[in-house]
């Protein structure tokens, strides 16, 4: 299965997402902000990134820009997790091929989004 980086500043959500992904056979690496996510990418190979849009230190949108501008990480798909699904920042990212899931999300909704994105990468 896939190794997934979860960048979320709220510990409970971060751990819940990691647990949910473990139930369907994935492994997770956990980061508390965008800078931690970038640092972890230099040490780990991941298949997918789930990233909160709004975080301290380095927000998800800025972290995603750094990831997408790095030749070593630019192919990793990113799914933003956000409570702001009508945010213009999201709309712009959708146009650039970045997916999102609105918080609060259901376990089934998260599993489906992750499966859909991973399936599209392998085809």
Q: Is 123 inside a domain boundary?
A: no
Q: Rounded to the nearest 5°, which phi and psi values hold at 122?
A: -90, -10
Nearest to 17 by CA among 94, 84, 79, 90: 79
Q: Is 91 inside a domain boundary?
A: yes
Mean pLDDT of 112-121: 91
Contacts of 39 (CB under 8 A, 6+ apart): 31
Tens-digit pLDDT profile for residues 47-100: 999 999 888 999 888 999 999 999 999 999 999 888 765 565 555 555 455 688
Question: At 62, which CATH number?
Answer: 3.40.50.2300
H-run or E-run covering 89: helix 88-95
Counted domains in the chain:
1
Domain of residue 13: give its range.
3-118
């Amino acid at each position: 299965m896939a190794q997934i980086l979860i960048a979320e500043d709220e510990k409970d959500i971060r751990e819940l997402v990691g647990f949910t992904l473990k139930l369907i056979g994935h492994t997770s690496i956990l980061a508390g902000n965008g800078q931690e996510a970038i640092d972890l990418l230099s040490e780990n190979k991941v298949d997918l990134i789930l990233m909160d849009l709004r975080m301290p230190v380095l927000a998800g949108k800025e972290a995603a820009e750094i990831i997408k501008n790095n030749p070593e990480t630019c192919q990793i798909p990113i799914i933003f997790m956000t409570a702001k699904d009508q945010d213009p920042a999201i709309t712009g990212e959708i146009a650039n091929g970045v997916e999102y899931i609105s918080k609060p999300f259901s376990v089934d909704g998260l599993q489906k989004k992750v499966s859909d994105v991973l399936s599209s990468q392998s085809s």
